[in-house]
Amino acid sequence: MKKIEHIGIAVANLEESNKLFKQLLGTAHYKIEEVSSEKVMTSFFQAGPNKIELLASTAPDGPIAKFLAKKGEGIHHIAFEVSDIYAEMERLRAEGFRLLNEKPKRGADNKLVCFVHPKSANGVLVELCQEIREEK
């Protein structure tokens, strides 16, 4: 894996948290993006070389709504950038990690993503992400 691409934080109210993180980081979010397949609205902040992704649920039965009900607001996942998500998924599977999706899916921020189950990573939800390279 190349580096930490972003840290995902689950929040109850995106508008309020956008204000809070603007105060905290000294810079406003640079984009808001809905990922309807995940029932989530995201906003992204750039802090130096690092990114923070805020995640708010758009449906009461979405994964973020469930996370908030169980654990409350806070760090939700750590995302690592990979250059070949298929190869990395294959490698992790062979190492015995439990992946939450069979195939990479389209996430926010022009990425192909796959999640590793927190039960196989000491309680940490790990996201693999690879920039989508548009091929013609």
Q: Which residues bind Co ion (CB under 5 A)?
A: 8, 53, 79, 127
Least Å distance, CB 8 to Co ion, is: 4
What distance in Å separates the CA atoms of residue 45 and residue 28, rounded to the nearest whole number?
7
Residue with tokens 């109850």: 12
Least Å distance, CB 72 to Co ion, is: 19
Q: Are 9 and 20 in contact (CB under 8 A)?
A: no
Q: Which is nearer to Co ion, 81 or 97 (CB)?
A: 81
Q: Which is nearer to Co ion, 118 or 136 (CB)?
A: 118
Q: Which is nearer to Co ion, 8 or 104 (CB)?
A: 8
What is the 8-class DSSP label of residue 99? B
Tokens of 6: 């972003």
Q: Are 40 and 56 in contact (CB under 8 A)?
A: yes
Q: Which is nearer to Co ion, 8 or 62 (CB)?
A: 8
- Per DSSP, what are the bridge partners of residue 31? 44
Least Å distance, CB 21 to Co ion, is: 15
Please return the burial class of 77, using the count of CB atoms within 10 Å of its CB with bins 0-12, 13-18 and 19+. Answer: buried
Least Å distance, CB 136 to Co ion, is: 27
